[in-house]
């Protein structure tokens, strides 16, 4: 798969097979995240690999009861939780590069998983304090996002995107 | 190249050849960015493709005089500027997902460029108001980052990264 094919293949998948993920695939996707670029190379990201069902259940309970992500976290063999250390990034002119850096490392992880035939699903709508307690994350570290990881039991069509002319300008804004 | 090879090949490159970028490559990398995932699929990102030297010069002047990024923006045939629309994302429990979404779309762009043999370099250390004026970006839109884009005139070694054991935990924080 070339890069665009990987991007095109990524979907938000919430149903998973009862099938474990090979260790070498897990290592491959974590390595892809580890090598992400970051603000002044400070690498604010941390990943917690949650495989025990008690941990995945607790993370699911950090979400609203009607959040379809709950089912994904309980049903997938692995949940990967993205944390970020604010002191290992900076806010510059009001822009929080911690969120940017953490996000792109996580996206490396999701794209690597997609290439390896695994399903993922970005999850941001959870209660941070509940997730923090479930995983003993220190008070000075943010819990930013999480994703289920496993072999998906569903296929999905791509969601719509804005057209190129809506998001790409030339030389100046709006042109 | 598989995905990890693309990640491993990406470098922050600041010297560029006097060689133009093929239109199909530019379209390929913008398409890779366009398809990025985002908070509630709101797609806050906008890209401004700056090719005229007057625009690239103005962006370079938004940076500090000792910023090596200046040379990169002036020397590369293209600069791509990442903007983000705050109303097309959300702040959730104090976490600004606009920065996360914008960042991962831009990282799609950088990885696609890397795969296509092109050089890039994340730039965040610039004065936003100067960049805003140079490109007529409205006051309600943030200018988040930029990158030169072109065929690089240098090779670089990878920068160091934290080891896996420093950034990957199992089941709970610190384990």
Domains located in chain A, CATH noted:
3-152 (3.40.109.10)
C-beta of residue A50 within 8 angstroms of C-beta of residue A82: no
Phi, psi dihedral angles at B61 (to 5 degrees)? -75, -10
How far is A43 from chain B, CA to nearest CA, in Å?
A: 8
Q: Which residues of B touch A136 (CB under 8 A)?
A: 172-174
Two structure tokens written together for A138: 């220190």
Rounded to two decimals, the ipTM of the complex is 0.97
Phi, psi dihedral angles at B124 (to 5 degrees)? -120, -20
How far is A65 from chain B, CA to nearest CA, in Å?
A: 18
Q: Which whole-number Å values give the CA distances from A112 to A90, A136, B173, in the listed order?
A: 27, 27, 23
The DSSP code for B22 is: P
Backbone φ/ψ region at A93: left (φ over 0), alpha (ψ -120 to 50), beta: left
Condensed to tens digits (0 to 9), the pLDDT of residues A10-45 reads 999 999 999 999 999 999 999 999 999 999 999 999
The DSSP code for B20 is: P
CB contact under 8 A, B4 and A162: no
> What's the whole-number average pLDDT of chain B?
98
Q: Which residues of A touch B99 (CB under 8 A)?
A: 95-97, 99-100, 103
Two structure tokens written together for A91: 């806010």
Distance from CA of residue B41 to its chain's centroid? 20
Alpha carbon dihedral A127, A44, A46, A5, in 10-degree steps, equals 90
Q: Which residues of B touch A97 (CB under 8 A)?
A: 99, 124
Q: How high is the pLDDT of residue A80?
A: 98
- For residue B24, give every residue at least 6 positions away whose Cβ sits within 8 Å of its Cβ, in sequence order, or none: none
Condensed to tens digits (0 to 9), the pLDDT of residues B102-152 reads 999 999 999 999 999 999 999 999 999 999 999 999 999 999 999 999 999
How far is A113 from chain B, CA to nearest CA, in Å?
A: 10
């Amino acid at each position: 798969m070339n890069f665009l094919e990987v991007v095109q293949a990524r979907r938000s998948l919430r149903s998973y097979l009862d099938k474990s993920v090979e260790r070498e695939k897990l290592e491959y996707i974590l390595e892809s995240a580890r090598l992400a670029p970051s603000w002044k190379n400070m690498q604010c990201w941390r990943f917690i690999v949650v495989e025990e069902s008690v941990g995945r259940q607790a993370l699911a309970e950090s979400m609203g009861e009607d959040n379809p992500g709950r089912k994904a976290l309980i049903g997938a063999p692995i949940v990967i939780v993205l944390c970020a250390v604010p002191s290992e990034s900076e806010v510059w002119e009001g822009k929080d590069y911690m969120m940017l850096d953490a996000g792109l490392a996580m996206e490396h992880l999701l794209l690597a998983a997609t290439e390896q035939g695994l399903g993922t699903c970005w999850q941001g709508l959870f209660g941070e304090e509940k997730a923090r307690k479930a995983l003993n994350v220190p008070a000075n570290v943010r819990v930013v996002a999480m994703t289920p990881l496993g072999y998906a039991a569903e296929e999905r069509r791509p969601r719509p995107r804005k057209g190129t002319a809506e998001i790409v300008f030339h030389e100046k804004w709006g042109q």
